[in-house]
Amino acid sequence: MLRVAMLSKWHVHAEGYAKFLQGLDNVQITAVWDEEPERGRKWAEDLKADFEEDLDTLLKRDDVDGVVVDAPTSMHADVMVAAANAGKHIFTEKAMALTVEECNRISEAVRKAGVKFCISFPARTAPQNLYAKKLIDEGILGDITLVRIRNGHDGSLRDWLPDYWYDEKMAGGGAMMDLGCHPMYLASWFLGKPARITSMYNYFTGRAVEDNAVCAIEFKNKAVAIVETSLVTYRTPGSLEIYGTEGTLIAIGRDVKLISEKMPEKFKGWVSPQDLPKPLDPPLKQWVDAITLGTPIRYDLEEGTKLTELLEASYIAHKEKREVEFK
């Protein structure tokens, strides 16, 4: 039995993670900590778990093998370093941390402790994205010239996000720091090492952090990615466009269309592939399996750091109104 502690209910995905873990036969939620004790106590009661007001006390418990981190992003580094130093396996909500320096601190502690680490990259489990990655790797689209990825929702329009979501000190940013993580890590996965980035962040609802954001990223292979995210979009199924020298893929949700010079003659012109890969297990399940079965983790320290590298540079580009180059 894998015994897990939930570290904060701050993130909007925290409840979903807890419900998922409760649905697994080999996992037990034993404890809860929260930087807001009143919220944490209530959640612990709901989960029928113990509440620990002091994080260090929780991390010393023998009935905690791993932790799920949903604390404010600004607290991630301190929380995860403490968890690793206590020998606890770590699953974290994205982003891993606010800066690459913080990611390096986490990575050093995790590697030294020899514990399992996984970051939540659910878009990398989706069939359309797995299919796109396969086509890119196999050269079916030729050399990639441009990728456009969009992910948005109406959280700021309909006010279903908590007020603290717009606290820059806690969250580290707005739309791009949270929802924008998904197109950011997909762009990195598809295209490799970044070369330079620029940003346009917008404050449509007048809050303290951006709710509408676009980044343009040039990668070392000369491909360009347009990364879009929004909290002020009425409906967004999620969209992906990949343009290459010999083919194009367009996906709206799981509806995929493809055209390529490298397709067999009978498939010339636009086609709608029906043989998409099966979705991978959710990242949280992959983390549980890695601990209990020894299976590999796809979304590891290196992947989390790559995402933060892009995010950190994107905010510098926005705040300083300039293009930021990567080393």
- Tell me, yes or no, whether 284 lies in a domain: no
- pLDDT of 237: 79
Q: At what angle do helices 100-113 and 76-85 cross, to 10 degrees?
A: 10
| pLDDT digits 0-9 by tens, 2-46 | 999 999 999 999 999 999 999 999 999 999 999 999 999 999 999
Query: Can you spell out the DSSP letters for 51-97?
Result: E-SSHHHHHT-TT--EEEE-S-GGGHHHHHHHHHHTT-EEEEPSPS-
pLDDT value at 266 more than 70: no
CB contact set of 237 (below 8 Å; sequence gap of 6+): 252, 253
| pLDDT digits 0-9 by tens, 217-263 | 999 999 999 999 999 999 877 999 999 999 999 999 999 999 999 88
Residue 195's CB: how many other CB atoms inside 10 A? 16
Asked if 141 and 110 sit in the same domain, the reply is no
pLDDT value at 265 more than 80: no
Q: CATH number of the domain that 22 lies in?
A: 3.40.50.720
Residue range(s) defining the domain that contains residue 27: 2-115
Asked if 127 and 172 sit in the same domain, the reply is yes
Token pair 């797995």 in the structure block, residue: 130
Asked if 108 and 172 sit in the same domain, the reply is no
CB contact set of 60 (below 8 Å; sequence gap of 6+): 86
| pLDDT digits 0-9 by tens, 72-81 | 999 999 999 9
pTM for this predicted structure:
0.96
* Total domains present in the chain: 2
Q: Are 100 and 305 in contact (CB under 8 A)?
A: yes
* 159 φ/ψ angles, rounded to the nearest 5 degrees: 60, 40
CB contact set of 243 (below 8 Å; sequence gap of 6+): 141, 144, 145, 146, 147
CB contact set of 174 (below 8 Å; sequence gap of 6+): 166, 168, 201, 207, 209, 210, 211, 213, 231
